[in-house]
Amino acid sequence: MLIKVLGPGCAKCKRVEQLTREALAELGLAADFEHVTQLEQIMAYPIMTTPALVVDEVVKCSGRIPSKDEILAWLKQ
């Protein structure tokens, strides 16, 4: 599983990554993380605002910090 956090590295981006790591730990799953900060790479995704969470190249959320329950549901799929 590949998880990408899209954003400039702000506190919100870090919070999205932290919540995602916690959800992965709860589920006992392993994943590779990538923090995409380059604007050109971020613009390759269909998002308008950051932070954004991408799981296996599918945008799950953008422009807000998702709840851990939301992240758990996305990771279970």
| Catalytic positions | 10, 13
What is 8-69 written as a DSSP string?
SS-HHHHHHHHHHHHHHHHHT---EEEEE--HHHHTTSS-SSS-EEEETTEEEEESS---HH
